[in-house]
Amino acid sequence: MIAKCSYLFTFTPPLLSARMTSMQIHILSLFPPMFEGPFDNSIIKRAIDNKLVTIHIHNIRDYTHDKHGTADDSPYGGGAGMVLKAGPVFEAVEAIKLELLEKGGVAEVPVVLLTPQGRVFSQQVALELAKLNHLILICGHYEGVDERVREYLATDEISIGDFVLSGGELAAMVVVDAMVRLLPGALGSEDSAADDSHSNGLLEYPQYTRPEVFREWAVPEILLSGNHAQVDRWRREQSILRTRQRRPELLDKADLTPEERAKLTSDQSP
Terminal-residue alpha carbon distance, the chain:
67
pLDDT tens per residue across span 244-259: 999 999 999 898 999 9
- pLDDT in the model for residue 10: 41
Q: Which residues are catalytic?
A: 116, 143, 181, 196
Chain centroid offset of residue 256 CA: 25
Question: pLDDT-derived band of residue 48, with 50, 70 and 90 as boundaries?
Answer: confident
pLDDT tens per residue across span 29-45: 999 999 988 888 888 87
Query: Of 174 and 15, which is predicted with more confidence?
Result: 174
- pLDDT in the model for residue 200: 77
- pLDDT in the model for residue 196: 56
Q: For the whole model, what pTM was predicted?
A: 0.85
| Cα–Cα nearest to 168, from 236, 106, 123, 121 | 121
Domains belonging to the chain, first-starting first, are 2-180 (3.40.1280.10), 197-267 (1.10.1270.20)
CA atoms within 13 A on the CB side of 146: 16
Any idea which of 59-68, 136-145, 225-234 has the lowest mean pLDDT? 136-145
Chain mean pLDDT for the chain: 88
Query: Of 201 and 227, which is predicted with more confidence?
Result: 227
pLDDT tens per residue across span 178-219: 998 888 877 765 555 555 555 678 999 999 999 999 999 999
- With 50 as the cut, is the pLDDT of residue 234 above it? yes
Cβ partners under 8 Å of residue 21, min gap 6: 133
pLDDT tens per residue across span 67-121: 999 999 999 999 989 999 999 999 999 999 999 999 999 999 999 999 999 999 9
Indicate the SS3 state at residue 179. Answer: helix
- With 50 as the cut, is the pLDDT of residue 221 above it? yes
- pLDDT in the model for residue 15: 40
- pLDDT in the model for residue 22: 81
- Report H helices in the chain: 42-50, 86-104, 123-130, 147-152, 169-180, 190-195, 228-246, 258-267
- With 60 as the cut, is the pLDDT of residue 3 above it? no
Cβ neighbours around 205 below 10 Å, total? 19
Question: pLDDT-derived band of residue 6, with 50, 70 and 90 as boundaries?
Answer: very low
Dihedral of alpha carbons 31, 36, 41, 45, sign: positive
pLDDT tens per residue across span 22-32: 889 999 999 99
- pLDDT in the model for residue 96: 98
Contact call for residues 189 and 175 (beta carbons, < 8 A): no
Question: pLDDT-derived band of residue 13, with 50, 70 and 90 as boundaries?
Answer: very low
The torsion defined by the Cα of 134, 104, 183 and 203, in degrees rounded to 10, comes to 20
